[in-house]
Chain A
Amino acid sequence: GAGVSQSPSNKVTEKGKDVELRCDPISGHTALYWYRQSLGQGLEFLIYFQGNSAPDKSGLPSDRFSAERTGGSVSTLTIQRTQQEDSAVYLCASSLGGPHEQFFGPGTRLTVL
């Protein structure tokens, strides 16, 4: 079946512009996660959605970052007024929740000039 998909695969933007990154999780997965992978920084948790519960936003690095998940499916990560330090690969994952493993999308490579 279809895995997690993300779009765009690459995004180049200018400092100060807003960007939107999209994630389509695996159908039926109730949990959705956003991570950031920076060169030399490993994988960093950003935000977590589980069903209809309030999202866990504890990993968002600043108030320029926000995310929503509509209808319990597609999610959009928005970065406002992008900065050069926002350059990274943004990974989305979904799972059935609980102890189940997360399935990752291919990522969106964001470059802020």
Chain B
Amino acid sequence: AQSVAQPEDQVNVAEGNPLTVKCTYSVSGNPYLFWYVQYPNRGLQFLLKYITGDNLVKGSYGFEAEFNKSQTSFHLKKPSALVSDSALYFCAVRDPGGTGRRALTFGSGTRLQVQP
């Protein structure tokens, strides 16, 4: 079975500082990994994904994430946080294997609070 852990319920960072939102995963094969963001009273918006290739992937709004196979991690990063980045962030995994679930398994979410 596939699973995702987001160990931090909330991350606080000052505007202009770098931010990291942590994610670790468990799948039987090579994973497809995703980050989504949810603003209040809105649906989930796709940020970025890792499928294969370069371990550092870049996405929307200046976000990036690094796939680390040995640590089974896919942490979300941004060099300089903005107040408008404050939102709920979800990491998700999909096992592309033949017996794996085709739908995404989501982490519990991390609330990012960027202080002015």
Give A contacts to B, CB under 8 Å. 4, 31, 33, 35, 42-43, 45, 48, 50, 56, 58-59, 91, 93, 98-99, 101-107
Please tell me which one of the listed residues B34, B46, B103, B107 contacts residue A42 in the complex, with CB atoms under 8 A apart.
Answer: B107
Interface residues on B, range: 20 to 34
Asked if residues B44 and A56 are in contact (CB atoms below 8 Å), the reply is no
Contacting pair B103 A101 (CB below 8 A): no
Q: How far is the CA of A107 from the CA of B49 in the complex (A)?
A: 22
Partner of B102, one of A56, A101, A105, A107: A56
Q: Contact check: which of A33, A105, A106 meets B103 at CB < 8 Å? A: A33
Which among A33, A42, A105 has the greatest number of chain B C-beta atoms within 10 A?
Answer: A42
CB distance from B82 to the nearest CB of A (A): 23
